[in-house]
Structure formats: C-alpha cells, structure tokens
C-alpha cells in the first residue's frame, strides 16, 4: 500500500509600512513580520522568503519588494503569500484584483493573518472583495481628511505644505503653521530676469546663461536652462496670488473649489502681466488658432550638418513657420551651429528639386553593366545561328560517343577526342546565356523607361497645383530626405542679415536674416510604387479631393527603383523672386 505524504508548502511573508505609519502601533514592520511568521508556523509552512517595503505607499504598484515577490511567484518559488491585512498588500480594488489574479495564474494563494482567503472559491473571493473595498474606503477617508486639513490651513493664509516655490521661504508664525516670506536673494534673481526679458528684450537662453554666470542656483538642478526658466516664470505667483486646489491625478481637473491664498508679491500686477506677454511672444508653442499648421519636412525628412533632425516651430511673435535643428536647443551641450530656416523657403526649394527629378525621370536611367557585353556576345552570330551551332555540336558529341562505345575504346580516349568539342559547346552556351540576359535587361529597361515617361507626364500634369496632402504623399512614396550639406556666409548682405532700404534696413531676402545660406542635398528613390500611385489619379486637375486616398503614404512595394540626388540652395527661390 502506497502512502501519500503531503509536501511541505512554501510561504512568503510580505510586510509594508508607509512613512506616516512607521510609528503607528500595530503596523510596524516588526509586528507584521512576527504575526506572519507565527501564522506560517501554526500551519506548518516553511518560510521561503520575507519581502519588506519600508516607507512605500500602498496606493502605488511600483514597490521593489512587491516586484520581487511577484517575480518569485512567476518562477514557482513559493505556494502561499502571507500578509497581516489586505491593506498591507494593496489599497485599491483595481490593484488588489490585478495582484490576486497574477498570483492565481501562478498557482499561489493569498493568506491574511486576520482571516484565511481561498482564492479558488467563490466565498473567499467575496470576502476578499468586501475587505478590499473597506481598505480602499479607509484610504479615501484618510486622503479626504488630510486634504480638508490642508485646505483649511490655506484658507487661514498659512502654507499647507509641499515644495516651497522659488523666491520664497517658509517662516514659522506659530507653533503649528508656517507662512511664506520673500527670500531676498531668490527674489532679486527673479526681478533681474524679468527686467532683462521685458525691458531689454533678452531671450530666455541669454537670461539663463547670465544667471549661471552670476552663480544663482536654480531649484533642484545645477544650472539654469531656457526651458526651466520659462516654466518657472510662468508658474510662480509673482504678483502675490496663489491658488490651492486638489487635482485628480488622471484627469488633472480640480476636485474641490480652488482657494486663493495671498502671498507676499515679488512683482506688481502690471509688471507680472508684462512678463506674461513677453513670454507669450517668444513662445514656440502653437496656440489653438495655429493647430492647422503643417510641416512638410517633419518626421526626419530634413537633416542638419550635425546629423540632427529638424522639427517645425511656430513663431507666434512673427507669424510664420520655421525649422529648427534639435541639437541647437539652448540647453544642449555641445550646441550645434545649424541655423533656423524659414519653412516656406526650404519647403519650396525641396519641392522644386523633387518636381525637377520627376519631370526628368526618364533621364535617370543609366546603361546596365551587361549592356556592352550583350551586343559583343551576340555580334558574331545571331540567336538562331547560336542555337544551330549548339545543336550541331551536341549531335557530333553524341555520334562520337556512340562510335567509341561500339569500338569498346577506353573512356580516356573518348575524353581526349571530345575535349575540343566540349570546350566549344561550353563557350557557345555561355554566349547564349549572356545574350538572353542582355535581352531580358533590355526589355526591363524599356518597360522602366516607358513607366518613367508616363510618370513624368502625369507629374507635369498634377504637381504644379498639388495640395499639401498630395506633396506629403509624394515625399513619402519617394522616401525623400533633405540633408544640409554646408552653411555658407550670405553674399547678398555680407553676413549682416539686412540690406539697405527702409528705416534701418530691411531683412535680407537671401538669408532671411540668419546671415548664412544652406546648401541642401535632396535624395530619394523613384519606383513603380509611385508610378502605380500616379496611375490611380484622375488624368486632369480635379484630383484634389481624392489625392490622399489614391496615393497611400506607406506604399513601399517597388519591384524596381531609380535613386536620384539633387543639390539646391535653401533660399534660392526667394532670391529669384526678390
């Protein structure tokens, strides 16, 4: 008779405390671990490991010890997870369900010291959900009480806690609460930055470098950057009006009525408004009315001399689009020397090069490598003559082989007798293959040439009045790339950025005030994918409405492809018009 022995079950102990609960009676790590060990010992379980998260909130799923526990469960290194209460494991129903489901998939049970849960039964799941709901309810009550207390503190004019804003410091006014007072050194730096931006017209990058040179330390970083300075100046309550409100983490909407708290002002209300207007004028972020702006060479189609990708920006202060290299941002180290370019100018220049390549597409075909070998191979004898010679040699070899076999001569004598004929036959067959290959390539080249001729005609018919969407489709099908080869000093304005005329001069029409002009290499591949896309377009100029549907952007099934490369000047078309 075989006796079944119950295997020893492996239990893992999990304990957690948050920062606020470490001193609370009954939730310390020592108490939790002792209770879990006692429960495991009572049931005869072996402790396979202890996982402890100290000072981590139960509302977050990103807990180091919890991640290690789940990893051990996935590798089947344990059978049971023991916790004192469900709120030690998770404090939201969504998180609790996800954790229990993952443990169940790994065949691991969840056990609490204050009640045993068999997650395989409906009764156990019901009790688990009830207690999990109470744990979540308790957490929400704690959050609401804390938030109500902070809100009341803000209403009374005190600082409710959190990160002290730059420019102020906390000063205890009584034994319980603190108030914000102006930090003289930080406020002096904010007033200096405001003066440089509003009165002198400095850029944020210039102001950031000036503050770094003065040794002014920004909050939480080593040096100032233009992005950090903009965000700080836009967020700080410089005119003395600070708003306290609780926001939902998912929607970022206010969950309570905002409370306006008065703090000592660093700037007057009028000065603060002037700063806001100056920041708005220099912002490259598109406003709601500018969301329809489109950049034809975005997504890496314009590359700088440094290898960085240009991206489009909207100049709200000047009302036009620009392209800027990603490596030329002020806080990039080292900063590249790529200039900003007007979007209209560079797009016109690149599109003109693309149109020129499509208009002259048949001229891009070059003779193949076998175009000279084919005529040479077929010049001595025609195709029919080659076939006749091959058949004659094959019959002669067959006849000689039969005669030597009847005479019972050795194989070596047969090889010697047919060596010359075999060599001639091999040469003729090679010439026949070369001729066939040459004829096939000529047929394919003729087909490509005919398709390129058709493509050039359709391009001349449609591209002069192409919409922006059609241009984007064509560039995608061509896989076009524009690379700035070099930047040269503008000869029109002698690197001054302006030419004579008007009051104080006018902007140079060649460099657009950037003092340099870029030479751009436009590259792409013309294939039958583009030919087929053009063939689906209507023959006349009424293609605007169906351009996007007729020319899919991601058509890359080219059976043949002809590369092209053209060099253009980024502003040449503007110079010609000027």
Residues forming the active site = 18
* 389 CB burial (10 A radius; 0-12, 13-18, 19+): middle
Q: Which of 466, 463, 507, 482 is nearest to 570 (CA)?
A: 482
Question: Which residues fall within 8 angstroms of residue 239, CB to CB, at 6 or more apart?
Answer: 265, 266, 267, 268, 269, 271, 272
CB 332 within 8 A of CB 503: no
Give the Cα-Cα-Cα angle 309, 310, 313 (nearest 5 degrees).
145
Q: What is the dihedral of CA 406, 407, 413, 417, to 10 degrees?
A: -70
- Return the H-helix or E-strand segment holding 396: helix 383-406
Q: Which of 109, 63, 57 is nearest to 83 (CA)?
A: 109
CB 374 within 8 A of CB 435: yes
Give the Cα-Cα-Cα angle 432, 444, 428 (nearest 5 degrees).
5
Tokens describing residue 223 = 């040096």
Tokens describing residue 178 = 């603190």
Q: What is the dihedral of CA 259, 263, 265, 270, to 10 degrees?
A: 10
Reduce the DSSP state of residue 116 to 3 states and report it. strand
- What is the end-to-end Cα distance of the chain in Å, rounded? 106
Reduce the DSSP state of residue 178 to 3 states and report it. strand
Contacts of 434-441 with CB under 8 Å at 24 or more apart are: 434/370, 434/373, 434/374, 434/377, 434/378, 435/374, 435/377, 435/378, 435/383, 435/386, 437/370, 437/374, 438/370, 438/371, 438/373, 438/374, 438/375, 438/377, 438/378, 439/374, 441/368, 441/370, 441/371, 441/374
Question: Which residues fall within 8 angstroms of residue 499, CB to CB, at 6 or more apart?
Answer: 492, 493, 505, 506, 507, 508, 509
The residue ranges of DSSP E strands in 187-287, in sequence order, are 241-244, 259-262
Q: At what angle do helices 226-235 and 269-281 cross, to 10 degrees?
A: 140
Alpha-carbon span 390 to 396, nearest angstrom: 10
CB 437 within 8 A of CB 370: yes
What is the bridge-based pairing of β-strands 115-116 and 168-172? unpaired
CB 349 within 8 A of CB 571: yes
């Amino acid at each position: 008779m075989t006796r079944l022995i119950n295997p020893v079950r492996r239990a893992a102990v999990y304990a957690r405390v948050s920062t606020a609960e470490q001193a609370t009676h009954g939730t310390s790590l020592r108490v939790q671990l002792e209770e879990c060990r006692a429960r495991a010992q009572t049931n005869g379980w072996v402790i396979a490991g202890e996982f402890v998260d100290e000072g981590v909130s139960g509302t977050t799923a990103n807990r180091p010890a919890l991640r290690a526990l789940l990893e051990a469960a996935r590798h089947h290194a344990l059978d049971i997870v023991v916790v004192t209460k469900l709120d030690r494991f998770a404090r939201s129903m969504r998180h609790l369900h996800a954790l229990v489901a993952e443990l169940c998939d790994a065949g691991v049970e969840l056990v609490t010291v204050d009640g045993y849960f068999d997650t395989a039964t409906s009764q156990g799941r019901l009790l688990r959900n009830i207690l999990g709901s109470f744990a979540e309810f308790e957490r929400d009550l704690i959050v609401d009480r804390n938030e109500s207390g902070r809100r009341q503190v803000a209403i009374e004019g005190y600082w409710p806690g959190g990160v002290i804003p730059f420019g102020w410091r906390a000063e205890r006014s009584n034994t319980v609460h603190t108030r914000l007072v102006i930090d003289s050194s930080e406020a002096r730096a904010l007033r200096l930055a405001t003066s440089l931006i509003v009165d002198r017209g400095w850029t944020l990058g210039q102001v950031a470098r000036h503050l770094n040179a003065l040794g002014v330390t920004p909050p939480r970083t080593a040096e100032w950057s233009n992005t950090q300075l903009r965000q700080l100046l836009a967020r700080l309550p410089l005119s003395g009006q600070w708003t306290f409100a609780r926001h939902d983490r998912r929607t970022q909407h206010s969950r309570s009525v905002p409370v306006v708290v008065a703090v000592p002002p660093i700037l007057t209300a009028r000065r603060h408004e002037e700063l806001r207007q100056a920041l708005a004028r220099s912002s490259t972020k598109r406003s709601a009315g500018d969301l329809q702006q489109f950049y034809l060479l975005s997504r890496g189609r314009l590359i700088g001399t440094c290898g960085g990708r240009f991206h489009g920006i909207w100049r709200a202060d000047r009302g036009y689009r620009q392209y800027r290299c990603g490596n030329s941002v002020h806080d990039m180290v080292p900063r590249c020397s790529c200039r900003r370019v007007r979007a209209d100018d560079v797009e016109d220049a690149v599109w003109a090069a693309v149109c020129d390549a499509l208009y002259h597409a048949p001229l891009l075909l070059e003779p193949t490598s076998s175009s000279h070998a084919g005529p040479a191979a077929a010049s001595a004898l025609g195709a029919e003559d080659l076939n006749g010679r091959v058949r004659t040699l094959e019959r002669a070899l067959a006849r000689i082989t039969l005669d030597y076999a009847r005479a019972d001569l050795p194989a070596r004598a047969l090889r010697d007798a047919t060596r010359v004929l075999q060599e001639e036959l091999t040469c003729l067959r090679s010439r026949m293959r070369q001729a066939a290959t040459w004829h096939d390539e000529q047929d394919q080249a003729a087909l490509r040439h005919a398709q390129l001729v058709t493509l050039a005609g359709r391009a001349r018919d449609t591209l002069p009045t192409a919409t922006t969407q059609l241009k984007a489709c064509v560039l995608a099908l061509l896989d076009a790339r524009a690379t700035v080869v070099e930047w040269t000093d503008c000869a029109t304005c002698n690197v001054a950025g302006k030419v004579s005329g008007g009051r104080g001069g006018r902007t140079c029409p060649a460099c657009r005030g950037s003092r340099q002009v870029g030479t751009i290499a436009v590259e792409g591949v013309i294939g039958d994918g583009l030919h087929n896309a053009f063939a689906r377009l209507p023959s006349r100029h009424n293609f605007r409405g169906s351009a996007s549907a007729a020319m899919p952007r991601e058509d890359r099934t080219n059976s043949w492809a002809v590369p092209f490369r053209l060099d253009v000047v980024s502003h040449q078309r503007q110079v010609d018009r000027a």
